[in-house]
Chain A
């Protein structure tokens, strides 16, 4: 796969860059594309959830389920937009918006008590009782 950058034209790269609001340099987008192609083994244009779970570092992360929900069926442009929240060039507002989206599981634009409880449940697993979580 040494030549995947030739499959991305300059227009593509600029379009993706615009979409993620310049959070990544062009070289970074090329590397992300190589990574995307590496994960998207069947070349279907998106990465199946299974593939994410086969990365051990990702699978052991407590928040993997919530993230998988957001990552499902993303094409490359959306994939880069997703990761743009983690770029050092992303604004604080952007990052907070991202964290908000992770909490807001039912995508209604609001983070309710239940949403927070659910995230806490993911993070703590069986090591905290429901009552303790509610108390928090």
Chain B
């Protein structure tokens, strides 16, 4: 009941509150059609379309919207609602939270006491060791999910272990991985994190065959691409899970998929994940909170409710480029999970857009002007 009020902030209300961008285009600015005839000074000096685009971006832009977390709307503003909310807080923080922490600790103890011996003692019997480790990780993830009272509904056929297949999913938080891992032990490709998460990554997840990358290193991409290809070829490896958005998005939108996952020459199985915002906003805004705080926030909410759809595997159609393939799969996932598509690259969160885009606009303008100059 933390965010019961957020039911009201559906997208329609959000748009009402925002000034409509289209109202702000000054009249006569739609010079989209090619103007012909003599090049008048007026046409040259009329920079209003470019200006209106800039102003539109300042007032509201689709990229920032992707990363906005829902502010919790307080519903406890009333004399009788407030004690109810207080009662809820007491239950959540003083009763549920300790129980969950206990449960999680218990889970960790069981997991570590089984994992460490198995890892070292069964060094010789790889196959057996791997299958036991897989089940242990699956069990640990179930403990994790239970610690937030996760109610996950899986739709569609369970992923099977076959070579030459890759799973792609939309990304809202690191817990996406845990939720999917609960059902099938995937090998995931992740950004290497600092702190206790990094420690986990290095030890336990390594045994699943996970692959690491570093966003900031430019050369990293080729090394990682090779690792991906090798992994997919191996029949014994865990199925590979990739989050092609490259960053966490707030579960209302999808940003452009990176084509790396779609160039591997194998079947792509899309997975769509949608969280129910009534209970808790599972979006991990990595700019606002650390992962530990995010987990604590989840553990002190009532529940994490989400739907996971395993969708039909897709193959590269003849004559389709990997980018088009990525867009097609993004379409499928967005439609299933009810997300809107946005034409921006997720990495723009961390860096400026390359000058290429600006140059393209400049090129269009220059060409049209030069053409008209010739016509004179």
Distance of A47 Cα from B24 Cα, bound (Å): 21
Is the beta-carbon distance between A53 and B63 smaller than 8 angstroms?
no
Residues of A within 8 A of B23 (CB): 87-88
Looking at the assembled complex, report how far the CB atom of B63 sits from the nearest CB atom of chain A, in whole angstroms: 5
B363 within 8 A of A: yes
Contact of A123 (CB < 8 Å), options: B17, B55, B63, B365: B365
Known: A31-B19, A57-B53. A128 touches B24 (CB 8 A): no
Is the beta-carbon distance between A132 and B353 smaller than 8 angstroms?
no
Is the beta-carbon distance between A102 and B367 smaller than 8 angstroms?
no
Looking at the assembled complex, report how far the CB atom of A53 sits from the nearest CB atom of chain B, in whole angstroms: 6
Residues of A within 8 A of B61 (CB): 55-58
Is the beta-carbon distance between A99 and B362 smaller than 8 angstroms?
no
B349 (CB) vs chain A CBs: closest residue = A54
Interface residues of B in 46-105 (CB under 8 A from A): 46-48, 50-64, 68, 71-74
Query: How many residues from A make CB contacts under 8 Å with B?
Result: 48
Residues of A within 8 A of B156 (CB): none
Is the beta-carbon distance between B57 and A55 smaller than 8 angstroms?
yes
Contact of A63 (CB < 8 Å), options: B50, B63, B367, B373: B50
Known: A32-B19, A35-B59, A127-B362. A136 touches B369 (CB 8 A): yes
Known: A99-B45, A119-B47, A125-B359. A86 touches B52 (CB 8 A): yes
Is the beta-carbon distance between B366 and A125 smaller than 8 angstroms?
yes
Is the beta-carbon distance between A61 and B361 smaller than 8 angstroms?
yes
Query: How many residues from B make CB contacts under 8 Å with A?
Result: 51
Residues of A within 8 A of B50 (CB): 61-63, 123
Distance of A123 Cα from B348 Cα, bound (Å): 23
Residues of B within 8 A of A38 (CB): 64, 68
A124 within 8 A of B: yes
B44 within 8 A of A: yes
Interface residues of B in 320-376 (CB under 8 A from A): 344, 348, 352-353, 357-359, 361-363, 365-367, 369-370, 373
A95 within 8 A of B: yes
B26 within 8 A of A: yes
Distance of A136 Cα from B372 Cα, bound (Å): 11
Interface mask (A121-136 → B, CB under 8 Å = 1, otherwise 0)? 0011111100010011
Distance of A55 Cα from B64 Cα, bound (Å): 7
Known: A54-B352, A136-B39. A60 touches B44 (CB 8 A): no
Interface residues of A in 36-78 (CB under 8 A from B): 38, 52-64, 67, 71
Provide 25 A-B residue pairs closer than 8 Å at the C-beta atoms, listed in order of the A residue: A2-B73, A2-B74, A24-B19, A27-B17, A31-B17, A35-B59, A38-B64, A38-B68, A55-B61, A56-B61, A56-B353, A57-B53, A58-B58, A61-B50, A83-B59, A90-B26, A98-B51, A99-B46, A99-B48, A103-B45, A123-B50, A125-B362, A127-B366, A128-B366, A135-B373
Spell out A's residues near B (CB within 8 Å).
1-2, 24, 27-28, 30-32, 34-35, 38, 52-64, 67, 71, 83, 86-88, 90, 95, 98-99, 102-103, 116, 119-120, 123-128, 132, 135-136
Known: A127-B367, A128-B369. 14 other contacts (CB 8 A): A31-B19, A55-B61, A60-B357, A63-B47, A63-B50, A63-B51, A83-B59, A86-B55, A99-B47, A103-B45, A124-B366, A125-B358, A125-B359, A128-B370
